[in-house]
Chains A and B, each alone.
Chain A
């Protein structure tokens, strides 16, 4: 996801004045994507929210000093959010590999059976299929799918709970107040 351009930045104006616009824009981007991810459960939206969290965090690392402790706390929250979203992303990236491996095992087992592994059993008895070298591995991969799927659901629920708490506590409004001039 491309970063949104921050409008109204002035290279000649003070850093602090521009930083206010930047922090608010990046925080709004993250909040909108986090809301959308909670609403849609969409993997790509979650990924975009993770990138938005990184953008805000890394911006706060360089301009956060212009503001008070609320902004510093937002940096810590973004780091935690980034870690959590990163773990969900890891599950999402691993999942298709596990599915592909399961399909490969199934194909290999079918080849073994087709090449005479069925012992002439036309209907392929259960015990014969389970004797293929792939059967034990396929059982492991099924258990792995169960684990990764459950872990992903757990992490997502954690994300929803964390973002709901932050949102209800006025994450955006607090940041806006903490960065506005004359605070």
Chain B
């Protein structure tokens, strides 16, 4: 999992709104960086890293709500929820398949066949989840998300 980037220069005595601008800018950039990695290689780790970056951004957007213009805040929160949510099914499937594969490696040959059949039964769901991942990547590439997140620092009140 990608580690959170340290936010340099923060001070407990600085105004809350100023800290909001700096913190949200870093966390929004982390989402965009992870989305670019996902576009290059949509593997399980990349999907997970985007989701974690989204969750980190959500957590700070929630606490800094009073510092933002409501419309920009709502748009950003909805955008980040959308991305995280759209990747959720793929993440669940990745976790399930990895868990079952791990169990299979400890099982008898007969049980391995049964577990493989269960994993194969997920194929349709995997295909549907892949389409959502593709849509997230395309959405990120058409600059809509970039615009939403880029607008955040300028939407800080005060």
Contact assessment for A94 and B12 in the assembled complex, using a CB-CB cutoff below 8 Å? no
Count A-B contacts at CB 8 Å: 102
**Bound complex: CA A18 to CA B64 (Å):** 10
Interface residues of A in 92-148 (CB under 8 A from B): 93-94, 97-98, 101, 104, 136-137, 139-141, 143-144, 147
Interface of chain B: mostly helix, strand, loop or mixed: helix
**Bound complex: CA A104 to CA B124 (Å):** 15
Tell me, yes or no, whether B56 is within 8 Å of chain A by CB.
Answer: yes
Which A residues are CB-close (under 8 A) to B118? Answer: 97-98, 101, 141, 144
Tell me, yes or no, whether B42 is within 8 Å of chain A by CB.
Answer: no
Contact assessment for B66 and A9 in the assembled complex, using a CB-CB cutoff below 8 Å? yes
Closest beta carbon of chain A to B125's beta carbon, Å:
9
Which B residues are CB-close (under 8 A) to A15? Answer: 10-16, 18-19
Range, interface on chain A: 35 or more
Which B residues are CB-close (under 8 A) to A154? Answer: none
**Bound complex: CA A13 to CA B100 (Å):** 51
Return the chain B residue nearest A7 by Cβ: B66
**Bound complex: CA A13 to CA B15 (Å):** 5
Return the chain B residue nearest A11 by Cβ: B17
Contact bitstring B113-156, A, C-beta under 8 A = 1, else 0: 11101100110000000000000000000000000000000000
- Contacting chain B: which of A34-42, A52-60, A160-168, A169-177? A52-60
Contact among B16, B55, B92, B117 with A58 in the assembled complex (CB-CB below 8 Å) = B55
Return the chain B residue nearest A61 by Cβ: B4
Task: Return 6 A-B CB contacts under 8 Å, by A number.
Answer: A6-B63, A17-B16, A55-B62, A58-B55, A58-B60, A66-B12
Q: Which A residues fall within an 8 A CB radius of B? A: 3, 5-6, 9-19, 22, 54-55, 58-59, 61-62, 65-66, 90, 93-94, 97-98, 101, 104, 136-137, 139-141, 143-144, 147
